[in-house]
Copies of this chain bind each other. A is one copy, B any other.
């Protein structure tokens, strides 16, 4: 059991001030939010759980239960007021204020993220870029100049960065992570295929594309959709040598 010095609450996330919301539900709520905003742009003012669930790709009972974490803001016999629902979901997800993002490692992936307008549009302004490559320092990417990694702690603290995005090669990821934590960043999105070690009060989410591909590969083979010759059984004698 890994009990670190930071482990204030040992039983996980029990002592929450509000009703406990399952992690899986939080992710789905973010999806509902996007569907709803898209619907609102099309002039939809009311939606039933059945329709919204269909658009979000989930069971309608699951959707209603998820929304019950937000509160009871539907009207029986009618459905949900889209605008009001958006407001309350945003509140629950903490989107009532902006969360500054810092991107570290302005290579192929970092460039794409730094230029992506979808983040600032959703309340996640990119306010700092970092790299170790001298040729990149000072160069503006997406309108923001790149700073040196050494200044991560100072700049992150100064600009109140709440989310750090790591797009560096694997060997640099842990060091960059430590710098972000030193700068007060408590939420990290990690694209480097490595498991980061962080204090208990830091939340890391990993986006691992190779793992996604391998899960797809598993389903492909398991499903028997193999195109070529696929899985020949291992010869136990040859294996045990």
Contacts and interface: CB of A to CB of B under 8 A. Distances in A.
A17 to B, nearest CB: 8
A30 to B, nearest CB: 4
A239 B84 contact: yes
B228 A213 contact: no
Given A213-B122, A221-B94, A162 B108 contact: no
B186 A223 contact: yes
A220 to B, nearest CB: 5
Given A84-B239, A205-B212, A207-B209, A231 B91 contact: yes
A24 B217 CA distance: 14
B189 A212 contact: yes
Interface stretch (A112-120, A131-139, A147-155, A175-183): A112-120
B160 A195 contact: no
Contact of A162 (B88, B163, B210, B220): B220
Given A205-B212, A207-B212, A239-B87, A108 B101 contact: no
Interface residues of A, number: 79
Interface in A24-45: 26-27, 30-31, 33-35
A211 interface: yes
B94 A213 contact: no
A203 B219 contact: yes
A93 interface: yes
Nearest to A234: B91
B115 A230 contact: no
A149 B26 CA distance: 35
Given A108-B116, A119-B210, A95 B215 contact: no
A34 B228 contact: no
A226 B195 CA distance: 26
A182 B108 CA distance: 31
A38 B221 CA distance: 25
B97 A208 contact: no
Contacts of A16: 222
A41 to B, nearest CB: 12
6 contacts: A27-B215, A84-B239, A99-B220, A113-B209, A160-B227, A207-B209
Closest 8 CB pairs of A and B: A94-B221, A108-B112, A187-B216, A30-B214, A57-B195, A30-B211, A94-B217, A203-B219
